[in-house]
Structure 1
Amino acid sequence: MPPKNTQPKYRQIADYLRDGILDGTFPAGQPLPSEEALAKQFGVTRPTVRQGLSELRASGLVEAIMGRGTFARSPHSRPSHTRPRGVRRAPDGRYIEADGIRWTDTEPPVATRTDAPLALADLLRIPPGEPMFTYDALQTADHGRLRQLHRTYVPFSILADTKYEEEAPPSAPELYSALSDLGHELHFTEYVRTRMPLPDQAQALRLADGVPLLHVIRMTLAEADKPLALEEFHLPGDELELSFRL
């Protein structure tokens, strides 16, 4: 006689669906059994089914689409978009993104003053609390289907004794040309990690429950790896992979 499953019913439902998604019983992109069918199969109420589904949403294995149902998401499937990372210089001297995507700011970026927190000050090699020009932008492409949050930081000390002591510099990528015009030979380094989004980030990027962020930090560097500026990109982490040419 097989041992009795003593796990809570919602956990049994989550395990059943998880195993089915991972072994292909429920293919990625296909609807899962309805709440009503699962409730009948496991002899539970629909709130118990929803509790099991919420576990899978938190791990990114299912996606709920309003008015259509709940769909499987395989961790093994290829993402919909591959984004080459990096910056290159066009023949006309402009700096452009390696992915070639033409991003549009939903609103014109406005420079604000912020004081460098400890983590950013360490990366920029400036004292904590040093003032910085900061730009925030929600950017879209492909008729709004692609979205990213982009933040640019430029320490005041980098702009000392330049025309930008009296006026704010442009935001990136125009910032690169402005720094180059000041006599800097630029190169770039990026750091990539994942984390779960804050509520306002999830809303701006239209992320489903359980979808992480790709958090990219780009350092703009001059000679001897001197940091000039720092950018943060927050990208949806579900249907996107990043590629780097080595």
Structure 2
Amino acid sequence: MPPKNTQPKYRQIADYLREGILNGTYPAGQPLPSEESLAKQFGVTRPTVRQGLTELRASGLVEAIMGRGTFARSPHGRPSHTRPRGVRRTTDGRYAEADGLRWTDAEPPVATRTDAPLALADLLRIPPGEPMFTYDALQTADQGHLRQLHRTYVPFSVLLDTMYEEEAPPPAPDLYNALAELGHELHFTEYIRTRMPLPDQAQALRLSDGVPLLHVLRVTLTETDNPLALEEFHLPGDELELSFRL
């Protein structure tokens, strides 16, 4: 006689569906059994079924689509978008994003004054609290199918004795060309990690429950590795992969 399953019913449902998604019984993009059929199968109420589905959404294995049902998401499938990372030089010597996409700002970015927090000050090698020019932008490409949050930071100390001492430089990527015109030969370092989004980030990027962010920090450096500026990119972490040419 097999041992009795003592787990809560909602977790039994979650485990049953998880196994089906991972072994291919429920392929990515295909609907899962309805709440009603799962309730009958496990002898529970529909709220208990929803509790199990919530657990799967939190782990990114299912997606609920309003009016259509709940659909499987495979952790093994290739993403639908691949984004080359980095900065390239165009034929006229200007700097441009390596992905070649034409990003559009939802609203014209406006420079604001912020103080450097400890983590960013460390990357920029400036004292915490040093004032910076900061730009924030929600950007879209491919007719709105691609979205990212982009923030540019430029420490005041970098701009001393330049034409931008009193007037903010442009945000990246135009910032690169402005820095080059000040006589800098630029190169870049990126740091990438994942984390769960804050509510406003999930809303802006239209992320489903359980979908993480790709959080990219890019530091712009001189030829002698002195930091000049820093950017933050927040990207959807479900249907996107980043590629790097090494």
Match of 1:5, SS state, is coil
Corresponding residue of 1:115: 115
Corresponding residue of 2:228: 228
Q: CA RMSD in A?
A: 0.5
Corresponding residue of 1:165: 165
Corresponding residue of 2:13: 13
Corresponding residue of 2:40: 40
CA distance in 2, matches of 1:54, 1:94: 48
Aligned residues: 246
CA distance in 2, matches of 1:50, 1:178: 53
Deviations 1:47-70 (A, max 9, x none): 000000000000000000111110
TM-score (norm 2): 0.99
Deviations 1:165-204 (A, max 9, x none): 1211000000000000000000001010000000000000
CA distance in 1, matches of 2:225, 2:51: 50
CA distance in 1, matches of 2:185, 2:223: 6
Q: Percent identity?
A: 89
CA distance in 2, matches of 1:94, 1:198: 35
Match of 1:180, SS state, is helix
Corresponding residue of 2:192: 192
Match of 2:157, SS state, is helix
Shift in Å at residue 94 of structure 1?
Answer: 2.0
Shift in Å at residue 224 of structure 1?
Answer: 1.6
Q: Give the letter aligned to residue 86 of structure 1.
A: G
Q: How does 1:202-241 map to 2 (within 5 A)?
A: 202-241=202-241
Corresponding residue of 1:75: 75
Match of 1:163, SS state, is coil
CA distance in 2, matches of 1:53, 1:161: 59
Corresponding residue of 1:142: 142
TM-score (norm 1): 0.99
Corresponding residue of 2:130: 130
Deviations 1:63-121 (A, max 9, x none): 00111110000100000000010000101222111111110000000000000000000
CA distance in 2, matches of 1:87, 1:69: 41
CA distance in 1, matches of 2:17, 2:128: 49
Runs of at least 4 residues off by over 4 Å? none
CA distance in 1, matches of 2:20, 2:143: 35
CA distance in 2, matches of 1:131, 1:146: 32
Matched, 1:88 2:88: yes
Corresponding residue of 1:58: 58
